Amino acid sequence: MAQPHDGEPVLATPRRGGEEEGNSSGSCEHRITTPQTSRQVDKLTSYAGRMAQVTRVSLADQAAELLLERIRSGEWEIGAKLPSEMTLVPELGVGRSTVREAIRQLAGRGILTSRQGAGVFVTAFEASEDLSDVLRRADIAAVLEARIAIETEAAALAAARRTGADLDDLRAALAERERDFPDVVSLVAADTAFHRAVIVASHNPVLVELFDSFAPRLRDAMVEMLELPRAGGVGSADRGHEIEPDNEAHEALIKAIIERDAQTAARESRSHLEELKVRL
Note the pLDDT tens digit of each residue in 51-68.
444 444 468 888 999 999
Confidence of residue 130 (pLDDT cuts 50, 70, 90): low
The identity of residue 275, as a single letter, is E
d(CA 217, CA 147): 11
pTM of the model: 0.55
d(CA 218, CA 31): 64
List of domains in the chain: 35-122 (1.10.10.10), 131-278 (1.20.120.530)
Mean pLDDT of the chain: 77
Confidence of residue 244 (pLDDT cuts 50, 70, 90): low
Q: For residue 270, how many other CB atoms are within 10 A of its CB?
A: 18
Residue 26 has pLDDT above 80, yes or no: no
Task: Tell me the residue length of the chain.
Answer: 280
In eight-state DSSP terms, residue 125 is S
Give me the torsion for CA of 90, 95, 96, 101, rounded to 10°: -120
